[in-house]
């Protein structure tokens, strides 16, 4: 439970490290926010968020309407999936999905019928501000809303602070610090009403005492648009605070620190200090669901880079293949040499453009080899500690690298590997061009692997031990039985009255003989152990049968 209330600072605090990076946002912010055309075929992955994948509730060949539930959530940390448009489910199977591994995963494939007919979602709510927060949470959950800032954590979970926590501050993240990405800025400029409405709903659901929108100070337009909307609504309790433009100011913990001067505990959550943080896009999605009954079937995405003919921001149906969006932006230029999903600091490179946009996709970056060149070959680390200077988490990146390189997985955890947010600042300044973040990812997966292995071997060991214990128990039981048998034998009269013994033996022999004759056919028959009624029935049948034979 938090001890004191978090308060907003008058002047934003400066977090350690970070980098000034070129913004590269202007080229994608030239026109209004357009809606992308719906492609003929959409690939909707079942897993688009942190947590459990959804489970299909439709079958191949089934007709679906826009917004219809096609896969239900499994478990608390999970989100349902809805049909992005109307059409026919043509397949449920493995297709390439947005993942750094380049592997495939289960998708529901929908062939659009071009009509885009809508289903009634039942999400729409009247009198939102009089309703029970639990009801709002349920609808947000049913709408399949996950954090749209990138991580994709199911939003309903983050709208439930639990009975032990008071939400002092709701932080709305509009910082969007990564170069090239401008989808949040476009949304703030073009849909301020949705954002503010969504914030109000969240404030109600969380009983948040204060609300602040944190925006990097290089987005004056966005700040202006949101402020105008606040003024229009005469909303005085939502504040906009410009934060200094420095990557990664949009990191949840960095933004909260900049606004409040408080650090979210290592390995902890913002709610541990009474703060909840949501992205502006998530706020807008909540407003669309609660006020308009629209589940999360589309999002705004930036399509940009020197490899794109007409960079822009598009509102896109989930499941639209990237190739289709590139086409709508005038196609690739001759310079296109690299394709990223996400920004140049934390995104990942794609091999092909056939993969679909999912709920967490914020940017498609087709870059020239000049924009994102191949790095020079790596040299040895000279421990210059420039990485230490820029680490926003105050880690010692070169020590982490050293232990990852040496595969010392114990030591690397002593150096707090799991506090690393993989922002890429260290690798960006490394004079030796070492792909540091890759080493940290490798170490993390290695440790997760080790833990799984350990769990497995723990289980095997427990099983083995249980088996040994059981064998031991059985052995003991047997011995006890034997001991008891010996004891009872001992109690029986011993030699002395040999006649009695002889009589016993004779009796036993007689019993055996009798049994043998009786059980000549030892197999039990199904006519044994019957009730009297059954017996009677059988007897009558027997009689009839006998009668028949007699008559014949």
Partner 1 sequence: MEFPTRSSPYLPVANDLSRLMRKVMLALVPGALALFWFFGWGIVFNLLIATSTALLAEAAVLRLRGKPVRPALLDGSAALTGLLLGLALPPLAPWWIPVVGVLFAIVIAKQLYGGLGYNPFNPAMIGFVVLIISFPLQMTLWSPPTGIGHEGPGFKDTLQLVFAGRPPEGETLDTITMATPLDESKTQSGLDLTWDEILSDPRFGNYGGYGWEWVNLAFLLGGLWLWKQRAIQWHIPAGMLGGLFVISLMFYFADADGYGSPLFHLFSGATMLGAFFIATDPVSAATTPRGRLYYGAGIGILVYVIRTWGGYPDGIAFGVLLMNMAAPTLDYYTKPRVFGQREEQDD
User: Is 328 a binder of partner 1 (CB under 8 A)?
Assistant: no
User: Is 330 a binder of partner 1 (CB under 8 A)?
Assistant: no
DSSP per-residue codes, 348-395: EE-S-S-SBP-TT--EEEEEETTTSPPPPPP-------HHHHH-TT--
Q: Select 90 or 416, whichever has its Cβ closest to partner 1.
A: 416
Q: Select 201 or 264, whichever has its Cβ closest to partner 1.
A: 264
106-125: contacts with partner 1 (CB under 8 A): none
What value does the CA radius of gyration of the chain take, rounded to a whole number of Å?
Answer: 35
- List the structure tokens of 370: 């000049």
433-492: contacts with partner 1 (CB under 8 A): 433, 435, 437-438, 441
User: Is 350 a binder of partner 1 (CB under 8 A)?
Assistant: yes
Helix/strand/coil (H/E/C) assignment for every residue in 38-101: CCCEEEEECCCCCCECCEECCCCCCEECECCEEEECCCCCECCEECCCCEEEEEEEEEECCCCC
Q: Which stretch binds partner 1 (CB under 8 A): 30-38, 214-222, 351-359, 516-524?
A: 351-359
CA distance 89 to 70: 9
Q: Which of 128, 211, 243, 340 binds partner 1 (CB under 8 A)?
A: 340
User: Is 364 a binder of partner 1 (CB under 8 A)?
Assistant: no
CA distance 454 to 451: 5
Beta bridge partners of 61: none
User: Is 64 a binder of partner 1 (CB under 8 A)?
Assistant: no
Q: Which of 23, 172, 243, 429 binds partner 1 (CB under 8 A)?
A: 429
Q: How far is CA 290 from CA 222, 284, 293, in A?
A: 24, 10, 6
Q: How far is CA 418 from CA 132, 150, 223, 429, in A?
A: 37, 19, 34, 21
Q: Select 185 or 371, whichever has its Cβ closest to partner 1.
A: 371
- List the structure tokens of 380: 């040895």
User: Is 287 a binder of partner 1 (CB under 8 A)?
Assistant: no
Q: Does residue 419 contact residue 16 with C-beta atoms inside 8 Å?
A: no
506-535: contacts with partner 1 (CB under 8 A): none
Q: Which stretch binds partner 1 (CB under 8 A): 67-75, 166-174, 189-197, 383-391?
A: 383-391
137-166: contacts with partner 1 (CB under 8 A): none
Per-residue x/- track, 232-271, partner 1 (CB under 8 A)? ---------------------x---x-----xxxxxx---
Q: How far is the CB of 15 from partner 1 (least distance, A)?
A: 8
User: Is 383 a binder of partner 1 (CB under 8 A)?
Assistant: yes
Instruction: Give the H or E element holding residue 304.
Output: strand 298-304
Q: How far is CA 69 from CA 55, 122, 318, in A?
A: 11, 11, 14
Q: Which of 199, 300, 399, 444 binds partner 1 (CB under 8 A)?
A: 399
Per-residue x/- track, 193-232, partner 1 (CB under 8 A)? ----------------------------------------
């Amino acid at each position: 439970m938090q001890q004191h209330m978090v308060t907003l600072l008058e002047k934003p605090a400066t977090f350690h490290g970070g980098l000034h990076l070129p913004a590269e946002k202007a080229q994608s912010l030239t026109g209004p926010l357009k809606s992308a055309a719906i492609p003929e075929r959409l690939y909707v992955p079942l897993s688009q968020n942190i947590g459990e994948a959804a489970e299909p509730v439709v079958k191949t060949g089934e007709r679906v309407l826009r917004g219809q539930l096609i896969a239900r959530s499994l478990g608390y940390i999970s989100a349902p999936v809805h049909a992005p448009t109307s059409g026919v489910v043509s397949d449920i199977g493995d297709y390439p999905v947005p993942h750094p591994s380049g592997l495939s995963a289960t998708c529901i494939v929908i062939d659009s019928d071009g009509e885009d007919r809508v289903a009634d979602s039942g999400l729409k709510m009247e009198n939102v501000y009089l309703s029970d927060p639990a009801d709002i949470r349920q609808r947000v959950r049913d709408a399949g809303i996950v954090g749209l800032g990138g991580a994709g954590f199911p939003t309903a979970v983050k709208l439930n602070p639990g009975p032990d926590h008071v939400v002092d501050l709701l932080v709305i993240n509009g910082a969007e610090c990564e170069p090239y990405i401008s989808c949040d800025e476009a949304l703030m400029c073009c849909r301020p009403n949705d954002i503010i409405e969504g914030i109000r709903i969240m404030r109600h659901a969380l009983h948040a005492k204060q609300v602040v929108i944190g925006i990097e100070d290089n987005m004056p337009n966005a700040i202006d648009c949101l402020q105008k909307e606040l003024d229009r609504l005469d909303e005085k309790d939502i504040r906009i605070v410009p934060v200094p433009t420095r990557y990664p100011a949009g990191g949840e913990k960095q933004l909260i620190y900049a606004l409040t001067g408080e650090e979210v505990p290592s390995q902890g959550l913002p709610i541990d200090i009474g703060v909840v943080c949501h992205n502006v896009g998530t706020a807008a999605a909540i407003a669309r669901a609660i006020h308009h009954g629209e589940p999360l079937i589309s999002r705004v995405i930036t399509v940009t880079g020197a490899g794109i003919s007409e960079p822009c921001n598009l509102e896109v149906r989930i499941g639209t293949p990237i190739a289709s969006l590139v086409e709508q932006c005038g196609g690739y230029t001759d310079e296109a040499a690299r394709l990223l999903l996400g920004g140049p600091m934390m995104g990942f490179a794609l091999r092909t453009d056939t993969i679909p946009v999912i709920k967490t996709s914020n940017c498609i970056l087709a870059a020239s080899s000049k924009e994102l060149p191949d790095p020079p070959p790596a040299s040895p680390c000279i421990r210059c500690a420039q990485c230490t200077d820029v680490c926003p988490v105050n880690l010692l990146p070169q020590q982490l690298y050293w232990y990852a390189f040496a595969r010392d997985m114990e030591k690397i955890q002593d150096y707090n590997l799991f506090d690393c947010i993989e922002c890429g600042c260290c690798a960006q300044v490394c004079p030796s061009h070492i792909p540091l973040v890759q080493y940290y990812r490798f170490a993390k997966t290695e440790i997760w692997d080790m833990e799984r292995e350990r769990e497995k071997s723990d289980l095997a060991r427990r099983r083995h031990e249980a088996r040994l214990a059981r064998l031991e128990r059985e052995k003991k039981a047997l011995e006890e039985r034997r001991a008891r048998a010996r004891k009872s034998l001992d109690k029986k009269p011993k030699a002395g009255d040999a006649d009695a013994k002889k009589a016993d033996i004779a009796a036993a022999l007689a019993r055996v003989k009798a049994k043998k004759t009786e059980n000549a056919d030892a197999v039990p028959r199904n006519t044994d152990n019957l009730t009297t009624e059954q017996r009677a029935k059988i007897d009558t049948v027997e009689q009839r049968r006998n009668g028949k034979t007699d008559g014949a």
